[in-house]
Amino acid sequence: MEAAIRPAEPRDVPRMLELVRELALFERAPDEVTVTEEHMRDAGFGKDPVWLGWVAEADGVIQGMAVCYERYSTWKGRRLYLEDIIVTEAARGQRIGEKLFLQCARHAVEQNYSGMLWQVLDWNTGAIRFYGRFGASFDNGWLNGALEREQVQALLHQP
C-alpha cells in the first residue's frame, strides 16, 4: 500500500474523527472524545482555523493523519505543536507515520518555527520508539495540567 500525503480538506473530517476515536480506544480513553464533526470542521476550516493537518490516503481511503497547530513559548518563540499522528492499525508498519511526521517537520521549517513538540504517553513504547528514531528528546519532571469546560465555568461562578 503506497500512501500519498496531502493537506486535509473539510470532506476528510468524518474519517479523521474516526481515526481520533480509534486512537482514544487505543489510549484507553474512548469516552474522552467529545468533539463533533461540525466543531472539528469549523476549527480546521472555518472563519478562524486553529489547526492544520495532512492525511495519508491509499486506494481512496484515509489511512492516517497528522494535526498540528502553532504554539508560542516565551522561552523559544513560535513552535509547531503536533497534536496527533494517527495511522489506522491495519496500515501500520508501512512508514505512513514517518511520512506524516516529515510533512509536519517540513511545515515547521517552512514557517520558520523554532522547533516542534508533542506529548507521548509514558506507556506507549511504540510511539516513544518511533519518535526516538528521529532523535527526539523526552522531558521528565513536567506534569500536564488541564481543566474541562465545566470546571472552567465553575471557577468563574465561585464567590
Place of cell 506529548: 119
- 131 tagged catalytic: yes
**Residue 98 phi/psi, 5° resolution?**
-60, -45
Which positions ≥6 away from 9 have C-beta within 8 Å?
45
Beta bridge partners of 81: 69, 117
- SS3 of 39-50: HHHHHHHCCCCC
Catalytic pick among 69, 81, 113, 131: 131
Instruction: Give start and end residues of each alpha helix (H) in 49-123.
Output: 96-110
Query: For residue 110, how many other CB atoms are within 10 A of its CB?
Result: 8
Q: Which residues are catalytic?
A: 131
